[in-house]
Chains A and B, each alone.
Chain A
């Protein structure tokens, strides 16, 4: 029997499989509809510090011997940090911990209206330094590594550039935009000629999550429907459904943004591209990326539709670090962190790179 000349038995087998999957789809489809939201972020952790929208967590170490330098993950401000800890086996946090790292995370809650005045200065000159103080206190170490994802990477870069003599030992950026003029449709929609950011911020104070979510959805309008169709077809496949539900929950868990922070990001980064040009100043301090001299690793997703490759590519050219490494992976903005390629390539690469620099 060959694939091109299927025998009667093979055709019968194929039909049986189709019928079986069809039955499974109906049975499991009902469970899918009735099931409650998937449990995420299960790795044990303690809340170390809290300040309004800011939460600093410490994941409780599981190993007897760990690397000297702790890692602080800085999450993107639009989403929840449990992307790094979706489920057992699909958790970068868990992976790093079992490989001997002491892991902390700067995560965010929805900012209240009273926090509408938070700006880039608050995030990079107050929040991150305060968290690092807490981490140093907790760990007893005087150096830390930072791993920033997306906008968390931008905040980490600004922090690193404005604290060149600080306790930062290593910097890992994950799909971090540097050339904001390459931000594709976001750049087009926020074009200074049409977009009145002052009117938006002055009216709403806090940029609603619906506004942020609509922006993400409009980049790939067919993605949700196609995803639902795929999960229906794969309903018999428990692992696929489990993974889909965790990603779906995370993807819909969007956070609103503080107005001033949004205004400053739009004006200084999106319109004036100051991060790339090296003329960004935060609270009077130069945030020129050339100030960064610590080892830097940048993981970029080749098919990232949110932060296109061209937007993140210039990072390593701009820093002054002698020790720098770029990792370009197939996959998208989210799968870079928790997709199959992340598990196979990104996590081990970060582990190897950081372990050599965390002693």
Chain B
């Protein structure tokens, strides 16, 4: 026996090692899942998270106040600008779709790119309409 491994005549030591890793992983995961699957764990985890969020909120408000005192744009101001740009981006995107539609409807050049033929048939001649699998 070497460090917990039984030297077998039948098995490769590397294979034994792999099996041991698999067993260890299963054992740790199973134990952790049992522990973390309890109400107590969920309560503790969420309590800790709420404390962190509370700290983050207070710190954010203080920082915003400091930036305002320094006459600097706050995160909220930058965020507002980003929202304006995002809104423009969305509108442009909608206009693009509408223009493409109009172009396609009027037979414009950009209607469809040339590409491979779309006539391929499946190897089996079975009609899917007749197939019902449940």
A interface residues with partner B (beta carbon < 8 Å): 3-6, 14, 18, 21, 49, 51-52, 61, 63-68, 100, 102, 112-115, 130, 133-134, 137-141, 184-185, 188-189, 191, 193-196, 199-200, 203-204, 218-223, 226, 229-230, 233, 295, 316, 322-325, 352, 355-359
Q: Which residues of B have CB within 8 Å of A220?
A: 25, 29
Q: B132 near A322 (CB under 8 angstroms)? A: yes
Chain B stretch 1-39: residues in CB contact (< 8 A) with chain A: 9-10, 12-14, 17-18, 21-22, 24-25, 28-29, 32-33, 36-39
- When chains A and B are docked, how far (Å) is the Cα of A220 from the Cα of B13? 26
4 smallest A-B Cβ distances: which pairs?
Answer: A140-B112, A114-B82, A222-B28, A355-B122
Q: How far is the CB of B81 from chain A (nearest CB, A)?
A: 8
Q: A139 near B112 (CB under 8 angstroms)? A: yes
B115 proximal to A (CB < 8 A): yes
- When chains A and B are docked, how far (Å) is the Cα of A352 from the Cα of B124? 9
Q: How far is the CB of B24 from chain A (nearest CB, A)?
A: 7
- When chains A and B are docked, how far (Å) is the Cα of A218 from the Cα of B29? 9
Find the A residue at minimum CB distance from B32: A221
B89 proximal to A (CB < 8 A): yes
Q: Which residues of B have CB within 8 Å of A323?
A: 128, 131-133
- Chain B positions 114 through 134: 1 when the CB is less than 8 Å from some CB of chain A, otherwise 0: 011111111110111001111
Q: A140 near B123 (CB under 8 angstroms)? A: no
The contact sample of 21 A-B pairs, CB cut-off 8 A, is A3-B9, A4-B9, A49-B93, A66-B120, A68-B118, A112-B86, A114-B83, A114-B86, A133-B101, A188-B36, A194-B47, A203-B60, A204-B53, A220-B25, A220-B29, A222-B28, A222-B29, A223-B29, A226-B25, A357-B128, A359-B122
**How many residue pairs between the two chains, A and B, have CB atoms under 8 Å in the bound complex?**
165
Q: Which residues of B have CB within 8 Å of A184?
A: 37
Q: How far is the CB of A169 from chain B (nearest CB, A)?
A: 11
Find the A residue at minimum CB distance from B134: A324
- Chain B positions 79 through 94: 1 when the CB is less than 8 Å from some CB of chain A, otherwise 0: 1001101100110011
Q: A137 near B53 (CB under 8 angstroms)? A: no
- When chains A and B are docked, how far (Å) is the Cα of A322 from the Cα of B134? 8
B97 proximal to A (CB < 8 A): yes
Q: B123 near A355 (CB under 8 angstroms)? A: yes
Q: How far is the CB of B50 from chain A (nearest CB, A)?
A: 6
Q: A359 near B112 (CB under 8 angstroms)? A: no
Q: A130 near B93 (CB under 8 angstroms)? A: yes
Q: How far is the CB of B56 from chain A (nearest CB, A)?
A: 6
Q: B28 near A295 (CB under 8 angstroms)? A: no
Excluding A68-B119, A359-B121, 8 further A-B contacts by CB distance (< 8 Å) are A51-B93, A52-B90, A65-B116, A114-B86, A138-B113, A139-B115, A141-B118, A233-B18
Q: A185 near B118 (CB under 8 angstroms)? A: no
B111 CB contact (under 8 Å) in A4, A68, A140, A352: A140
Find the B residue at minimum CB distance from A295: B128
Q: With A21-B14, A137-B112, A203-B53 as given contacts, are A325 and B121 in contact (CB-CB < 8 Å)?
A: no
Q: A191 near B39 (CB under 8 angstroms)? A: yes
Q: With A52-B86, A65-B119 as given contacts, are A222 and B14 in contact (CB-CB < 8 Å)?
A: no
B65 proximal to A (CB < 8 A): no
Q: A196 near B119 (CB under 8 angstroms)? A: no
Q: How far is the CB of A105 from chain B (nearest CB, A)?
A: 17
- When chains A and B are docked, how far (Å) is the Cα of A139 from the Cα of B117? 11
Q: A356 near B131 (CB under 8 angstroms)? A: yes
B63 proximal to A (CB < 8 A): no
- When chains A and B are docked, how far (Å) is the Cα of A195 from the Cα of B28? 26
- When chains A and B are docked, how far (Å) is the Cα of A359 from the Cα of B119? 7
Q: How far is the CB of A198 from chain B (nearest CB, A)?
A: 11
Q: With A14-B12, A51-B89, A113-B82 as given contacts, are A196 and B24 in contact (CB-CB < 8 Å)?
A: no
